Each structure stands twice: as C-alpha cells, then as structure tokens.
Amino acid sequence: MEQKKNDKDEFVEKTKSVNPRERLIQLLKHSISFLTKGSAHKEVTAEMVLEIMPKLIITHMVEMANEVKYISILAIRRLINFIRIFRLCIELVPGVMPIINEKIRMFKEEEDKRVKDYTPSLGDILSMSIVSDQFNLSDFLEIYLEE
C-alpha cells in the first residue's frame, strides 16, 4: 500500500513560485558578467557595471538625438528603464557609487583629469551624473560643455 502512495506522489506536479525581482537580478548579473567577461558565471564587480551601464544609457540618448531611434513614449520608457537598472546595479554591487562620485569629482575639480586618458567618454560622465548621490549635471555643466 505504501508503494502506491509514493508512485502517485511522483506524478503530482509541484509548482515553484518565482520572485520576479530575484529573477531580474539573477539575469542582470549574468548578462553583465557575460558582456564584460564572456562568462555568465563570474562575480559582478563595480568595474563591470561601470563598463556597461553608462554606455547603454548614452548610446540610447545619442540614437534618440540623431533620430536613429524615434523619440516616442517607448524610447523614453526604455531610457528610464536603463537608468532604473543602473540604480539597481548600484544597490546590488558594493563600490559602484563611490567610484561614480570620485570620477565626477575628478572631472569637476582636476583639469588634467578631463583628457582622454582619464575620461575617455564624456557620455559616461553624463550618465553617471544622472545616478550620482553627490553631484548632478548642473554642478559641472560649464566645464562639461567646454570639453
């Protein structure tokens, strides 16, 4: 009798509840790792996040400005979602925000750090200013426009 009970339990479908936020985080980490290191199984670092996220944001903004992508509600939502994902990465990966703030501070205060060797992409600085907790674009707009 006990054997029949086990056989019946074998065919009972078990459902597993998936937390959408946890699934997003897992896929995000795998994606960043794969794009930067070629493997989805590497631990995500602050440098990896800063290699990918500012470029996603600025590339989308440039495509919208050049009318490669139509400026629509969908394009604006996509831009906002990139920013939200960048903020999520900052929350998940320790050390991202201090690096962002230091890069912006150096750009703002040290003229010799505004060259290509230290700041290869002005778009990265723009993207970082959107999510920074210490600086915003108005803090260094004049310097930014001069570059």
**44-74: burial string, b at 16+ Cβ within 10 Å, e else:** bbbebbbebbbbbbbebbeebeeeebeeeee
In a domain, 12, yes or no: no
SS3 label, residue 12: coil
Tens of pLDDT along 75-86?
Answer: 889 999 999 999
- Condensed to tens digits (0 to 9), the pLDDT of residues 26-79 reads 999 999 999 999 998 899 999 999 999 999 999 998 888 887 666 788 888 999
Q: What is the DSSP letter of 113?
A: G
Q: Is residue 1 part of a domain?
A: no
Question: Is pTM beyond 0.75 here?
Answer: yes
Beta carbons of 107 and 114 less than 8 angstroms apart: yes
Could you tell me if residue 108 is inside a domain? yes
Q: What tokens were used for 87?
A: 């903020």
Angle between helices 46-65 and 96-109 (to 10 degrees): 60
Residue 60 lies in a domain: yes
Number of domains in the chain: 1
